[in-house]
Structure 1
Amino acid sequence: MTGLRERKKQRTRDALVRTAHELFVDRGYERTTVGDIAGAVDVSQRTFFRYFANKEEVALALQRMVQERFLTAVEERPAHETPLQLLGHALGTAWDGISDALREVVPIELYIRMWQVIETTPPLLAARLRYSAEQESRLVAEIARRAGVDPDADPRPRVLVAAFSGVMQLAGRRWATGPDATVEGARRLFQGYLEQLGPALAEEWGPPRGSAGGGGGVRG
């Protein structure tokens, strides 16, 4: 059972994340200081730095949480799945309960608006891409380990992860600016885009089943 001290620390951390997101959305990332965030939570800047190295870290805290949930889901999948099955099933598992996990810290609407801030703020976008590259390396290593291949000699794990990451980034942008800005809407969109990855990598393309021309399917 989590002790009182740990629960208090978690509440402080959550308050810093929530307040930082509110200020970044209302004022802009560049115009918000660590002092602004700490003051709004009624703690010292020293307390802020016990939880986060800088305001970049607090801005990306929830996105990192979501990515960690996905990596954990990947590691817990059964060994018999193919790499593409692994990614699809882990993505579905990661979405389970994510709405509740986010709502414990911020309203979903605030999370979505913060996503838009990140996408339109060059320093934050660059930081997110750096972090994503680190997560991709971990994912490559896990897929290669499961497949029993050397990722330095066999390019397939890196190619698959690069394609997967590109699809996820595209789906994320579409979700953040689309009409269904809900967690369930995100889940449907991300899964729908991922389902197109296998067909998109096939040697031959043809019109989607049930199409007379070549339209249909998920569009980017």
Structure 2
Amino acid sequence: MQGLRERQKQRRRERILRTAVELFKERGFQQTTAVDIAKASHVSRGTFFNYYPYKEAVLLDYGAELLELAWGEAKAALENGVPPVEVLEAFWNRLAELSEQELGRELLSHLAYELVNPDPERAHAAYEALPLAQFVAEILRPLARAGRLRTDLSLDRMANSIADAFLLAVLRWAGHTPDRSLAGELQKFLTIVLEGVLARP
């Protein structure tokens, strides 16, 4: 019985998520309310808030799905012996592609803002939902073992710096560079940050 209840809850959460994302894309994030989402999902407003305490939490779930998709491809490439720097570049490009196609500027900017939300609980929830730095650390780990990363900084610090560069590139792209591609902006930032973490020959 417990298993059935859990499956029902998961299906309801999935329905709310898919409905919300569809409405965000059709109407715009600001123009879509929790009541709109609840009504279109055939649940009460209270039920919506049982699953998602605020609208942006829906975006965190959706962003987490996209990040997991890109990470699954990167992990497979690592396991198949693709060089880590190539994996990281491909991971970056895949994230750019998914972000542009599935989120667009408006949704991506709201998602990115959650990571710097002045409410520490919401910012923490965003970092928990979107563990980009952890995935970057896993990609860089073989380089660290091979002595190809600088040794005066921890792997976590370097991975966090690269993840922060991703966030900054996204925020700049969403708000200030309407004529440029996200992939191009991300590549510039990644090139600069990689120069700072790779060991000098």
The TM-score, its normalising length taken from structure 1, stands at 0.59
The 3 A distance-change label for structure 1 pair 58 and 170 is same
1:216 corresponds in structure 2 to none
Aligned pair in 2 of structure 1 residues 177, 93: CA closer, same or farther (>3 Å)? closer
> Of residues 21, 24, 35 in structure 2, which corresponds to 1:17?
21
Distance 1:126 1:9 in 2: 21
Equivalent of 2:134, from 133, 137, 140? 137
1:215 counterpart residue number: none
Residue in 1 that maps onto 2:76: 76
- In structure 2, do the counterparts of structure 1 residues 120 and 200 end up closer, same or farther at CA, with 3 Å as the change threshold? closer
Find the aligned partners of 1:179 and 1:187 in 2 and give their Cα distance.
12
For residues 28-80 of structure 1, give each alpha carbon's deviation from its aligned partner in whole angstroms, at most 9, with x where no partner exists.
Answer: xxxx6x55531354433476478x44335313233223322332232021454
Identical positions, percent: 16
Q: SS of the residue aligned with 2:171?
A: helix
Conservation of the 8 A alpha-carbon contact between 1:168 and 1:190? yes
Whole-Å Cα distance in 1 between the matches of residues 98 and 35 of structure 2? 33
Aligned twin of 2:66: 66
Listed one character per residue, the Cα deviations across residues 156-180 of structure 1 (whole Å, up to 9, x for unaligned) are 5324312211211221221121132
> Which residue in 2 is equivalent to 1:44?
44
Number of residue pairs matched by the alignment: 181
> Where do 1:145-184 residues align within 5 Å?
146=142, 149=145, 156-180=154-178
Question: 2:184 and 2:94 mapped to 1: Cα distance?
Answer: 13
Instruction: Using the TM superposition, give the Cα deviation of residue 89 of structure 1 relative to its aligned residue in structure 2, in angstroms.
Output: 2.2
1:88–1:113: structure 2 CA closer, same or farther, 3 Å change rule?
A: closer
Alpha-carbon RMSD across the aligned residues, in angstroms, is: 4.2
Which protein has the bigger helix share? 2
The secondary structure found in structure 2 opposite 1:43 is coil
Q: Does the 8 Å CA contact 1:77/1:90 hold for their aligned counterparts?
A: no
The question of whether the paired residues in 2 share the 8 Å contact of 1:115 and 1:176 is answered with no
User: Which blocks of at least 5 consecutive residues in structure 2 are unaligned?
Assistant: 1-10, 146-150
Alpha-carbon distance, 1:86 to partner: 2.4
Give the TM-score, by structure 2 length.
Answer: 0.63
Q: Which moved more, 1:135-144 or 1:81-90?
A: 135-144
Computing the radius of gyration from Cα coordinates, the structure with the larger value is 1
